A = this chain, B = another copy of it.
Amino acid sequence: MRNANSEHSIEIKEMDSSNNNNNPSLPYKVGVPPKQNLWTEFSTTLKETFFSDDPLHSFKHQSKCRQLILGIQAVFPIFEWGRNYDLAKFKGDLISGLTIASLCIPQDIGYAKLANLAPQYGLYSSFVPPLVYAFMGSSRDIAIGPVAVVSLLLGTLLQNEIDPVKDAFEYRRLAFTATFFAGITQATLGILRLGFLIDFLSHAAVVGFMAGAAITIALQQLKGFLGIKKFTKNTDIVSVMRSVFGSAHHGWNWETIVIGATFLVFLLFAKYIGKKSKKLFWVPAIAPLISVVLSTFFVYITHAENKGVQIVRHIEKGINPPSVKEIYLSGEYLLKGVRIGMVAGIIALTEAVAIGRTFAAMKDYQIDGNKEMVALGAMNIAGSMTSCYVATGSFSRSAVNYMAGCKTAASNIVMSIVVFLTLQFITPLFEYTPNAILSSIIISAVIGLIDYEAAILIWKIDKFDFIACMGAFFGVVFASVEIGLLIAVSISFAKLLLQVTRPKTVILGKIPRTNVYRNIQQYPEASKVPGVLIIRVDSAIYFSNSNYIKERILRWLTDEEEQLKAAGLFDIQFLIVEMSPVTDIDTSGIHALEELHRSLQKRDVQLVLANPGPVVIDKLHASKFASCLGEDKIFLTVADAIQTCSPKFAEEV
C-alpha cells in the first residue's frame, strides 16, 4: 500500500445544505442531474461515439507551429519514433526484417496462387504496401503483406465474376479495382472514425471463420500437393473431396507427393522445434526458404518436371509495374469491384487490427484504431496503383517479427528492400520450384490459424458465442467463405438484438444480516420480504423490450400471488422495480411503465421504483410519470424502499 488517506481535502465535498436529508430518518432523495442543454448533450454523445479516445488531446494548448508538427507526426508516426531511432533499434529491426523476408517470399508466391494471380503479384504486394505502412502505421510489430485468408477470399469473390484463366487481364484489373476500393473503405472508416464498426465481428466469429478458412485453404493445397491437374473451383469440403478422390486413380502424381510430404514433415518438425524452445523461433521462420532452395535444386538436377511434377516455371522479373490505368472506374465491373473491395477490406482490417491490438497489449503501448485504418487504407490504395493486391498484417509473420526482436515498423522497410532485391535479381531462380513445396508451406502456415484452444475456452465461457464460432466455421468449410462470414455476422447481431429484446428480470431477496438485496437465484439464502415483490430489470428499457418487460413483471407477480395463495399467505401489496441496471429508457419504455402502473392499480398493488439512474429520472420527470406515480414512491435504494413499504421487516432482520 502506498500513501493514501492522509489527506483528501478536495475529494470529500461539503454536503449541500439545500439537500432534503438533514433529517437522517427520511429516505435519501433520488438525485436529478443538472439539466444539460441540448447541444452539450448532443455533442457529448457524438464525442463518446466517434472520439472516445480523445485523439486531439495532445493538440490542446499548443502553438500553431507545434500543432502542425504534431499533425504531421499524427499522420506519419515515422517522424515521431524516427527521431529517437538508434543503432540498437536498427539491429533488432534488421534481424527481424531479414527473418520475415525469408518467410514471406515463399508464402507470397503461394498466396498469389490462392488469389488466382501470377506469383510475382504476391511479391509486389510485399514491396510497396509495407513501405507505405512503415511511414504511416502505428504498430511496431505488425508484418505487412499478402495473407492466406484475404487471398482466398479475394480469389473466391473475383472468380465468381471473371474467369481467371480465360480472361486473365480483366481478372487482374478487377483485382486491382477491388484492392483500390478495399483501401478506400479502410481509409474512409478511419477518417470518419467508424473504426468501432469492425468490433461487430465478434472474437468468437473470427476464431471460427479463421479456422474454417485455414481448413479450406489447406484443402485447396491438395491440388498442388497431390499433383492433380483437374480440380474443382468450389471451395467447400464436399466438392474438394470429390475432386480429390475422383482423380485418385490416374490424377495423383507420386513424385509430387513424395517431395511435398517430405518437406511438409520437415516444416512441421521445424514448427515443433520453434514451439518447444522460444530461442529457436528462427528455425520455423527460415525453414520454408530452405525447403524452397533444396527442392528447387533437387528438381533442377533430377528434371522431375518431366515426370509430372508441376513447377512454378516463370516469375516476371523486375519491380511492380504501374497499374493506375487498369483500375475500373466505370462500367459494370466498377460496382463489383466496390463490393468485393469492401468485403476484403473489412476482413483485412479485422485481421490487422486484431494483430495490432494483441502486440500493443503485450508491449503495453497504445494503438489508435482509426489512425491505423487510415494507414492500412493508404497502403492498399498505393498498392492498387502499383500492381499489388490487398495486403494486411499477417498473424504468423507478425509473431515471428515480434520474436525476432523488432523494435519499430522499420523491420517492414528491411523486408521490403529484400523483396525488392528478390524481384530485381533472384526471381528466375524460382523457375524449378515445385508447386508441391508451396502447398506444403501454405499448409504448415495456415495450421496456426486453427485456434482450437480458443474454441474450447469459448465453449466454456459462452455457449452462444460458441454457436457463432461454429456457424462461421462450418459455413466456411461446407459452403463458402462468404457464407461463413454472413453466418458469423448474422449470429453476432442476433445475439446483440436478443439481449435488447429479451432482457433478464430477476426476483431480489434480502441477504441475511446485511441491507443488501440480491438475485435470489444467485444467493439462495436471500429472503423475500413479505407483502413485497422486488424485481430487478437488467437492461435499458427500449421499444424493443418495453412490452416484454411489462408483461414479464406482471407474470412474476401473478406467479408469486398464485404461490402465496396456495400457501394460504397474504397478498403482495408493493411491487418494487429495482432500476439500477436500467441505464436508459425511451418513450415506449415510459408508456410501458405507465401501463404497468395502471395494471397494478387495478390489482391493488403499489408500484415503487428504486435507484433510477440520471437519464431515467430525468425522463420520468419530463414525461410527468414521476409525479403521476408519486415522488415519494421513488427511492435511492431497495433498502430505503423496504423501510417505507415494510418497516417491520426492515427492523426485524
Interface residues of A (CB under 8 A from B): 1-8, 10-13, 15-16, 19, 21, 24, 28, 31-34, 38, 41-42, 48-49, 52-54, 196, 199-204, 357, 361, 364, 454, 457-458, 460-465, 492, 495-504, 511-516, 518-519, 521-525, 527-531, 538-540, 542-548, 551-552, 555, 567, 569-571, 573, 580-581, 583-588, 590-591, 595, 598-599, 602, 604, 611, 613-614, 617, 619, 622-623, 636-637, 646, 648-649, 653
Q: Are B16 and A525 in contact (CB under 8 A)?
A: yes
Q: Are A613 and B522 in contact (CB under 8 A)?
A: yes
- Measured in the bound complex, the distance between the Cα atoms of B489 and A381 in whole Å is 34
Residues in B with CB closer than 8 Å to A463 are 38, 41-42
- Measured in the bound complex, the distance between the Cα atoms of B285 and A198 in whole Å is 55
| Among all A-B residue pairs, the 9 with the closest Cβ atoms | A4-B531, A202-B543, A8-B530, A581-B581, A522-B614, A538-B583, A203-B588, A31-B523, A12-B527
Q: Are A11 and B528 in contact (CB under 8 A)?
A: yes
Q: Are B33 and A587 in contact (CB under 8 A)?
A: no
Q: Are B586 and A583 in contact (CB under 8 A)?
A: no
Look across to chain B and name the residue whose beta carbon is closest to the beta carbon of A360: B595
Q: Among the listed B5, B500, B545, which residue makes an inter-chain contact with A530, where contact means beta carbons less than 8 Å apart?
A: B5
* Chain A at the B interface: SS class: loop
Known: A196-B501, A461-B586. A203 touches B19 (CB 8 A): no
Q: Are A555 and B3 in contact (CB under 8 A)?
A: no
- Shortest A118–chain B CB gap in Å is 38
Known: A16-B525, A361-B595, A548-B196. A586 touches B500 (CB 8 A): no
Q: Are A516 and B613 in contact (CB under 8 A)?
A: no
Known: A204-B587, A461-B619. A555 touches B54 (CB 8 A): yes
What are 10 A-B pairs with beta-carbon distances under 8 A? A5-B530, A31-B524, A199-B543, A200-B501, A203-B588, A458-B587, A465-B586, A465-B587, A515-B515, A581-B581
Residues in B with CB closer than 8 Å to A5 are 530-531, 646, 648-649
Q: Are B502 and A52 in contact (CB under 8 A)?
A: yes
Q: Are A614 and B199 in contact (CB under 8 A)?
A: no
- Measured in the bound complex, the distance between the Cα atoms of B366 and A602 in whole Å is 14
Q: Are A591 and B203 in contact (CB under 8 A)?
A: yes
Q: Are B622 and A544 in contact (CB under 8 A)?
A: no
Q: Are A544 and B4 in contact (CB under 8 A)?
A: no
- Shortest A181–chain B CB gap in Å is 23
Q: Are B357 and A547 in contact (CB under 8 A)?
A: yes
- Shortest A473–chain B CB gap in Å is 15
Additional 19 contacts, C-beta under 8 A, given A196-B501, A361-B599:
A2-B604, A8-B530, A11-B527, A13-B524, A19-B525, A33-B521, A48-B502, A52-B551, A196-B548, A200-B544, A457-B623, A460-B622, A464-B586, A492-B543, A496-B542, A516-B636, A539-B583, A580-B581, A581-B581
- Shortest A518–chain B CB gap in Å is 7
Residues in B with CB closer than 8 Å to A646 are 4-5
- Measured in the bound complex, the distance between the Cα atoms of B384 and A533 in whole Å is 49
Residues in B with CB closer than 8 Å to A636 are 511, 514, 516, 518
Q: Are B555 and A53 in contact (CB under 8 A)?
A: yes
Residues in B with CB closer than 8 Å to A33 are 521-522
Residues in B with CB closer than 8 Å to A544 are 196, 199-200, 202, 492, 496
Residues in B with CB closer than 8 Å to A648 are 5
- Shortest A20–chain B CB gap in Å is 11
Known: A544-B200, A569-B10. A498 touches B581 (CB 8 A): no
Known: A11-B529, A521-B33, A622-B461. A573 touches B202 (CB 8 A): no
- Measured in the bound complex, the distance between the Cα atoms of B538 and A439 in whole Å is 50
Q: Among the listed B543, B583, B588, B598, which residue makes an inter-chain contact with A581, where contact means beta carbons less than 8 Å apart?
A: B583
- Shortest A5–chain B CB gap in Å is 5
Residues in B with CB closer than 8 Å to A196 are 501-502, 544, 548
Residues in B with CB closer than 8 Å to A504 are 583
Look across to chain B and name the residue whose beta carbon is closest to the beta carbon of A24: B513
- Measured in the bound complex, the distance between the Cα atoms of B2 and A323 in whole Å is 85
- Shortest A389–chain B CB gap in Å is 29
Residues in B with CB closer than 8 Å to A545 are 199
Known: A361-B595, A498-B49. A613 touches B519 (CB 8 A): yes
Q: Are A548 and B199 in contact (CB under 8 A)?
A: yes
- Shortest A370–chain B CB gap in Å is 12
Look across to chain B and name the residue whose beta carbon is closest to the beta carbon of A464: B586
Residues in B with CB closer than 8 Å to A28 are 511, 514, 516
- Measured in the bound complex, the distance between the Cα atoms of B202 and A19 in whole Å is 38
Q: Are B551 and A462 in contact (CB under 8 A)?
A: no
Q: Are A516 and B637 in contact (CB under 8 A)?
A: yes
- Shortest A166–chain B CB gap in Å is 32
Known: A4-B570, A499-B542. A530 touches B52 (CB 8 A): no
Residues in B with CB closer than 8 Å to A524 are 13, 16, 31, 34
- Shortest A211–chain B CB gap in Å is 15
- Measured in the bound complex, the distance between the Cα atoms of B196 and A569 in whole Å is 35
- Measured in the bound complex, the distance between the Cα atoms of B501 and A458 in whole Å is 21
- Measured in the bound complex, the distance between the Cα atoms of B524 and A183 in whole Å is 48
Look across to chain B and name the residue whose beta carbon is closest to the beta carbon of A5: B648
Look across to chain B and name the residue whose beta carbon is closest to the beta carbon of A583: B538
- Measured in the bound complex, the distance between the Cα atoms of B3 and A646 in whole Å is 11
Q: Are B2 and A570 in contact (CB under 8 A)?
A: yes
Residues in B with CB closer than 8 Å to A361 are 595, 598-599
- Measured in the bound complex, the distance between the Cα atoms of B619 and A163 in whole Å is 49
Q: Are A49 and B462 in contact (CB under 8 A)?
A: no
- Shortest A108–chain B CB gap in Å is 31
Q: Are B199 and A513 in contact (CB under 8 A)?
A: no
Residues in B with CB closer than 8 Å to A528 are 8, 11-12
- Shortest A461–chain B CB gap in Å is 5
Q: Are B552 and A518 in contact (CB under 8 A)?
A: no
- Shortest A373–chain B CB gap in Å is 14
Residues in B with CB closer than 8 Å to A515 are 515
- Shortest A458–chain B CB gap in Å is 5
